[in-house]
Amino acid sequence: MASFKRSDGRKVNELRPMTAKVGVVPNADGSALFAFGDTIAIAAVYGPRLLHPQHMQDPKQATLRVNYDLLSFSVYDRKKPGPSRRSQEISKMTEYALSPVLDLKEFPSTVIDVQIYILQADAGTRTAGINAASMALAHAGLPMKNLVCSVAIGKQDTTVVADLTKEEEDFHEGEGATDFPLAKIANSDQFTLVQLDGNIATELVAEVLEMANETCAEVYEVQKKALKAGATQ
C-alpha cells in the first residue's frame, strides 16, 4: 500500500499545493479564493439580506442559499452556461455542509447568499468550493461555530489517497477509482459532507475518515492563515 505511485508523485496522504485568499470580490460582504493545485474556486457571500419573494422567507431563521457552478471554460469540454443537475445537487450538498456552523436563527426572514464559481477544474471542485465558501462566510463577519474544511479522499485500486486529480479520478486499474468527498467542522469529529462514487470495501472506511481528519486539519491551517492575512489589507 505504501508503495503505490501516484501519477503526480505525491504521497498517498499528500494534498496538492493549496492557495487561499480573502477579499477577492470587493463588492461582496465576504469573499475568498481557494485552490487545490489546478482546481480554483471563488466564493462570495452577500447577506444577511432581503429575500424575495416574501413568501419564501422563514420567520424562524435566515435561509442559506448556495449557488455553485462551473464557469463555461473551467473544463476542457466547455460547459453550457446555466445550472445543470450536477451543479444544483452540489449547491444543495454544500448548503448541508455549511449550515451546521452558522447561527441562522440570529437573522430570521433574511437570506444569506453564497455564490461559488469554479474558474478552473481539475477534480475536487466541490471540496475547493466548500473551503472557499467557509472562508467567505467568516470574512462576511457572520457568527459561526467554526470553519468547515473539505477534502476529496479517494481510492486508486485498493490504496486510499487524498485529493484526487482528474487523471486519478479516471484511474481504471484493479478496483478502479473511488471518489469520497468529505467535509467536516474544524477541530471536531462532525462530518457535514459525505458523498461517494466508486467501489470501496467497508473495511477501508475508518482509514478514509482518519485521512480526512489529517488532511482537513491542513486545510484549516491554510484557511486560517488567509483570513488572518486578510485583516491587514
Partner 1 sequence: MAVKKISVQGSEEPQKKRYIVVPGEVIVSGEDYLPSDGTRRQGADIVAAKYGLAEEAGMVIRVIPLTGAFVPRRGNQVIGRVSNITMNGWVIDIDWASNAFLPIDESPHFINKNEMDQFLAIGDLMLGKIEGITARGIDLSFDGPGLGKLEGGFSFKVSPNRVPRVIGREGSMINLIKDNTKCDVAVGQNGWCWVYSEDMEGMLKARKAIEMITEKPFVEGLTEKMESWFQENK
Partner 2 sequence: MMGMDISKNTFEAMKTLVEQGKRFDGRALTEYRAVEISYDVSKAAEGSARVRMGKTEVIAGVKLTLDKPYPDSPEKGNLLVSGDLLPLASPRYEVGPPKFDAIELPRLVDRVIRESHVIELDKLVVKAGEKVWTVIIDVYPLNDDGNLVDAAVLAAIAALKQAKMPGVTEAGFPDYKHRTKQAVPLAKELVPLSVTLFKLGNALFIDPTREEAEAAEVKCNFGLTKQGKKHMIHSAQKTGAKPFTQKELETAAILIGEKYDELYDKLKKVL
Distance of CA 158 to the CA centre of its chain: 25
Give the residue with the Cβ less far from partner 1, 101 or 177.
Answer: 101
CA distance 96 to 66: 10
Residue 132 touching partner 1 (CB under 8 A): no
- 101's contact among partner 1, partner 2, none, with CB below 5 to 8 A by partner kind, is partner 1
Where would I find the H helices in 99-148?
A: 125-139
- 233's contact among partner 1, partner 2, none, with CB below 5 to 8 A by partner kind, is partner 1
- 3's contact among partner 2, partner 1, none, with CB below 5 to 8 A by partner kind, is none
Residue 134: C-alpha distances to residues 6, 12, 139, 148, 180 (Å):
29, 26, 9, 6, 20
134-193 binders of partner 2 (CB under 8 A):
none
71-110 binders of partner 2 (CB under 8 A):
71-78, 81
The residue among 194, 80, 200 whose CA lies nearest residue 130 is 194
Grid cell 439580506 is found at 49
- What is the end-to-end Cα distance of the chain in Å, rounded? 45
Report the interface residues with partner 1, using CB under 8 A: 29-30, 46-51, 59, 101, 103, 107-111, 138-147, 185-187, 223-224, 227-228, 230-233
The contact set with partner 2 (CB under 8 A) reads 24-29, 31, 38, 40, 42, 44, 46, 49, 52, 65, 67, 71-78, 81, 113, 115, 117, 119-121
